[in-house]
Amino acid sequence: ERGEYAHYMLKEIHEQPVAVADTLEGRIAGGKILTQIFGVDAERLLADTQAVHIIACGTSYHAGLVARYWIEQLAGVPCTAEIASEYRYRDPVVKEGTLFLTISQSGETADTLAALKLAKDRPYLARMAVCNVPESSIVRESSLVLMTRAGPEIGVASTKAFTTQLVALALFSLELARAKGLDAARYADGVRQLEQLPGLIAETLKLDAEILELATHFADKQHALFLGRGTHWPVAMEGALKLKEISYIHAEAYAAGELKHGPLALVDEEMPVIAVAPNDRLIDKLKSNLEEVRARGGVLYAFVDETVAHGLDAAHVVILPAAGEIAAPVVSTIPLQLLSYHVAVLRGTDVDQPRNLAKSVTVE
Ligand code: F6R
């Protein structure tokens, strides 16, 4: 039941501290991730993993794109993330030692399931799933499963499923990285970030009133542009997807470095630009994006943490709790969920049941 909340989506956004804590429950002890959560043969599997192919759709694909950065950055293992509907109709080259990894909230998405079935005939090391529904087809067809424990997600727009997917993928990335010789201090720091995440999300949810005010700036817009770099690029993609699916505002996400290569032509006072750049190593580049946007009469909304907010002369700066390389993409997702929610409510759309969409896409 949605209880005090006006919509399931809002309830599910606010459930994230608990959903993330549940997903971590019993998976970390004494500052270490329990290797056996990846199966009885996990140590050998991790040692043998020479590459990872991530396959998913929609929001789950965005989680996969974030994981790709972690897997390459932390584990030094080549990783691709691809949409299932593309993967299933091409001829991917699978080298020895490649792990196939699907991500799905429902476990029933037709394209993801079809890709998984195709993968059985390819020389993959194993077929692992990150999934939220234990009795689902994708779980049944996988040789290895890491469950997210988001609980039932009723709102069509995925929120807590996404953040718990990120947590499950972070557990995997860190454990793969440890098996590949990641520096112990960086590993310990990553695990600590995961343990702090429920508290950090709860703190970020306190931005709700500020985001509601911000939402009034978007309610009458037709378009919005989201920018991010590194792991925050897929976070920007997820922010744009949420906004378009529930508020019907046309939104696009670009890697910030691409702004000049085309989308800048669209920027004017009617095209707000949202930059997701907490603690970005490339903060100076954000500042130059900002000038580019401002010079075209555009309005820039920056979501940054307090370590970089100082001296940032954007029209609107939302300050997020500071977080490290693992926690930051989760934290910066929260305000974008709240933004799309409030914009949709202001526009009077059916937040939990957006037009034309189904919660589980079981046909291609
Ligand atoms: C967006 C959304 C969809 C799903 C996609 C995959 O909010 O919910 O994009 O993420 O249909 O669904 P699952 O994760 O069930 O495979």
Q: Is the CB of 334 under 6 A from ligand 1?
A: no
Nearest CA, atom 16, ligand 1: 104
- Long-range Cβ pairs for the range 187-195 (8 Å, 24+): 188/31, 189/324, 190/74, 190/324, 190/325, 190/326, 191/28, 191/31, 191/32, 191/33, 192/31, 193/323, 193/324, 193/325, 193/326, 193/327, 194/24, 194/28, 194/167, 194/170, 194/326, 194/327, 195/24, 195/28
Q: 90: CA distance to ligand 1 center in Å?
A: 22
- E strands along 132-180, which residues? 144-147
pLDDT of 282 reads 72
Q: 239: CA distance to ligand 1 center in Å?
A: 14
pLDDT of 309 reads 77
* Whether the Cβ atoms of residue 79 and residue 71 lie closer than 8 Å to each other: yes
**pLDDT, tens only, 119-148:** 999 999 999 999 999 999 999 999 999 999
Nearest CA, atom 3, ligand 1: 58
pLDDT of 152 reads 96
Q: Is the CB of 158 under 6 A from ligand 1?
A: yes
pLDDT of 157 reads 95
**pLDDT, tens only, 282-318:** 777 778 887 888 888 889 999 998 888 777 777 789 9
pLDDT of 63 reads 98
pLDDT of 266 reads 92
Write out residues in the chain with pLDDT < 70, as ranges: 280
Q: Does the annotation count 359 as an active-site position? A: yes
Distance CA 107, CA 101 (A): 13
| Residue for token pair 């996990």 | 42
Nearest CA, atom 11, ligand 1: 58
Which residues lie across from 319 on neighbouring strands?
Answer: 304
Q: 362: CA distance to ligand 1 center in Å?
A: 11
Q: Is the CB of 333 under 6 A from ligand 1?
A: no
Q: Is the CB of 169 under 6 A from ligand 1?
A: no
* Whether the Cβ atoms of residue 115 and residue 138 lie closer than 8 Å to each other: no
* Whether the Cβ atoms of residue 160 and residue 168 lie closer than 8 Å to each other: no
Q: Is the CB of 245 under 6 A from ligand 1?
A: yes
Q: Is the CB of 337 under 6 A from ligand 1?
A: no
SS3 state at 11: helix
Q: 120: CA distance to ligand 1 center in Å?
A: 23
pLDDT of 46 reads 97
What one-character DSSP code corresponds to residue 321?
A: P
pTM: 0.97
End-to-end CA distance of the chain: 31
